[in-house]
Every structure is written in C-alpha cells, then in structure tokens.
Amino acid sequence: MDFQLTEEQLAVQAAARDFAQSELWAGVIERDEHQKFPAEQIKKMGELGFMGMMVSPEYGGGGMDTVSYVLAMEEISKVDASCSVIMSVNNSLVCWGLEKYGTEEQKRKYLPGLTSGEIIGAFALSEPEAGSDATSQRTTAEDMGDHYLLNGTKNWITNGTTASVYLVVAQTNPEAKHRGINVLIVDKGMEGFVTSPKENKLGIRGSDTCSLQFTDVKVPKENRIGDDGFGFKFAMQVLAGGRIGIAAQALGIASGAYELSLKYAQERKAFGVPISQHQAIQFKLADMATNIDAARLLCLQSAHDKDAHQDYAKSGAMAKLFASKVAMDTAVEAVQIHGGYGFVKEYHVERMMRDAKITQIYEGTSEIQKIVISREILK
C-alpha cells in the first residue's frame, strides 16, 4: 500500500472537507432535531460528484478509486453522518452493484440519475426476521414467466421513503435456499409497493429509515440483476464493499468528535489552566488520536485492496469492526471531555455519540464482522 495520497486524492479530500464545513455544518443540529432529510444538501453532493464517485464517467460517475471515496466519506461524516450514510448506500450498494452486475440497459436507465443526485437508491435486504441471518428471506419473488410477483416486507431500509429505485432481495426458489434468491430493481410507484412512515431513531436522524411493503408487485423479468439465483452472492458482494464505506463513516464520526474535543480542551480552563494541560485529558486525547490513526489505516488498506482487485471481504470487515468501535469509544470520551457542555446539542458531540452507535449495527453487526473475518482466516 502506498502511504502517499495522490494529488487527485488530496483534491477530493479537500473538496469534501470544504463542502462539509461550508454546506453541512450550519444546519446539522436542526436536521438532527427535526429528523429533516437533507434533500438540498444531497442534490449539491450529486452536483459535486459525491453520489456516484466510483462509477465510470460513461454513466455519469466520477471514475474515482475507493481510496478517494473513503477520504470523502470521512470528511462528510465528520460533520453529518446522516448525509454520509445516504451517500454510502447510494455509492457502495446501489451504484456499485448496478455497474458491476447490471445489464447495459439497467446501467443506462438508472446510473446517470443516481450519480447526479437527481434520484436516490436504496438496498432492501433486512426483514422483520432476517437481519444478520440474510439467507432467511421471507420476501418472495414468484417467477410468473415474463415477470416476478413480489410479496413481503423489508425493514430498516436506509433512504426508504426518499429513494426512487430499490434493489430488493427476495426468494424465488426456497428449495435452493440461498441459491434461489434474486435481487430485483423496483421503481417507486410500482403498483402494490408502499413505504411506511419513517422510524424515529436514536441517531443519523437526518437520514430516513422505514419499512417497505410489497403486495403482488409485478416486476418485469428484465429488472432482475444477474442470472437466476445470483441474488445472495450479489448481496454479499455489495455488502463487502459497503462495509468499507461504513468503516469510513465511523472513522469520520470519530475524527469529528476528536477534533472538537482537541479544540475544546485547549480553550476550556479548569483549575487555572486549559484542561488540555491536565494529564487526565491528555491521556484521553492520546488514545483517541492513536485509535483514529489505526482505524484510518485499516480503512485505507481495505480501499486499497478493492482498488487493487484483491479480496477485500476480510479487510473491509476488519476496518468496519475496528472503526465502529473507535467511533463509539471516541464519541463517549468526547462527551466526557466536554463535561456538561457535551450533554447539550450545541456542542455536537452528543449527536456524534448517538450517530456512532449505528455503525456497530448496520451493514452487519460487529458480531457479524467477526464471523466474516474468522471465516476468511480459517478457510
């Protein structure tokens, strides 16, 4: 792995930092408080190329590498983890999956809108009874010849109410178990498809999460991604890449909380000196900085593996496992350093602490990451 970022990568990082500071910072508390979806901000992110960073320019994307994506995700997550999860699902799960495995027609139909931010995508795998155990899909896609008949419920779907296009995982042939699963592209507005009101969440409150209900939805055969029965492998592949994005999100939450803590510790005085001069605070800052650097290295390693066309299932899971723990630990310590101020909204770190928790849950819990890592080690 080359530790030196290229000029291009540095430029992407600087652009994401500028955008986050100038366009996201001012309204982030209000969006969190009122669960307000950042529609305008996402539109601008599309215009700046953040919504389809790795997609080829042929389909309207930025043609960038995964390292650049990680750098941008970190900067945006430092300020607003709601915006970054919308970005991550759109980039890693939807755009990447469509570009890698979609037909030419599917790519031409959906990618230009998804990369420009005109439309948003969602990935629908989780169900009331299939979260970690992704093979136990109850949603069915019955093969009716020229179309599938889709029935079932999906839970916890990021971009659930705001998306225009959904990649829906469903079981076609239960006897074949996970090899009978398909992924279908479902457009908003298809008859029989409704979304529930959005969930009232602990964190990432600007992003919308909801359930999807499918009742006899007719999905044309040409909306299937890949061959019949490829759906589970497709889901595992996009999640492996998605974990790199969520690891970078966790890294960003941690570095955002750390930067605020460092500044606060140098300004806030107690016992006659800035609290940064007390060893109790210095130890916390040292731990935070060390953990964040280690998390960043894992994120960049997994991005590098993906860019080098090497296996990244293990390194992506390691990055997500570690960075999400660092996000949680760092945000808790950031609140502690801020004392009473850390417990109120104006100082941002309480939001970061709430946002951090989801990084240990979605795109596979920390326990699932350990399963993925140990399987790779032992195989």
Task: Tell me the catalytic residues.
Answer: 363
If binding means CB under 6 A, how many residues of this protein chain bind ligand CAA? 24
> Residue 169 in contact with residue 181, Cβ under 8 Å?
yes
CB 369 within 8 A of CB 319: no
> Which string of x and - marks every residue 76-105 that binds ligand CAA (by CB under 6 A)?
---------x---x----------------
Among 6, 132, 215, 310, binds ligand CAA (CB under 6 A): 132
Residue 184 is a binding residue for ligand CAA (CB under 6 A): no
Q: For the purposes of burial, counting CB atoms within 10 Å of the CB of 283, is it exposed (0-12), middle (13-18) or buried (19 or more)?
A: exposed
Find where tokens 């460092």 sit.
262
The type of residue at 52 is G
Least CB distance to ligand CAA at residue 122 (A): 8
- Nearer CB in complex with ligand CAA: 126/182: 126
d(CA 70, CA 249): 8
β-pair partners for 151? 140
CA dihedral (135, 141, 144, 148) positive or negative: negative
Which residues in the 203-262 window bind ligand CAA by CB under 6 A?
A: 232-233, 236-237, 239-240
Of 250 and 300, CB closest to ligand CAA: 250
Closest distance to ligand CAA from the beta carbon of 132 (Å): 5
> For residues 193 and 259, is the Cβ–Cβ distance under 8 A?
no
Q: Are 54 and 69 in contact (CB under 8 A)?
A: yes
CB of 223 to ligand CAA, least distance (A): 20
Query: Which stretch, 5-13, 124-132, 146-154, 212-220, contacts ligand CAA (CB under 6 A)?
Result: 124-132
Which residue number, 333 or 355, has a Cβ lying nearer to ligand CAA? 355
CB 251 within 8 A of CB 323: yes
Window of 65-73, 97-105, 131-139, 197-205 that interacts with ligand CAA by CB under 6 A: 131-139
Six token digits for residue 122: 């969602």
Closest to ligand CAA by CB, 323 vs 335, is 323
* Residue 355: CB minimum distance to ligand CAA, A: 13
Contact 70, 300 (CB under 8 A): yes
Q: Does 290 bind ligand CAA (CB under 6 A)?
A: no
Residues 45-74 contacting ligand CAA, CB under 6 A: none
Under the binding rule (CB under 6 A), the answer on residue 313 touching ligand CAA is yes
Say how many CA atoms lie within 13 Å of 326 toward its Cβ.
33
Please name the helix (run of DSSP H) or strand (run of DSSP E) that holds residue 217, with its range, or none.
Answer: strand 209-220
Q: Considering only the C-alpha atoms of the chain, give the largest distance between any 2 of them, rounded to a whole number of Å.
A: 78
Q: Where on the chain is the footprint of ligand CAA (CB under 6 A)? A: 85, 89, 123, 125-126, 132, 134-135, 158, 178-179, 232-233, 236-237, 239-240, 313, 362-364, 368, 371-372
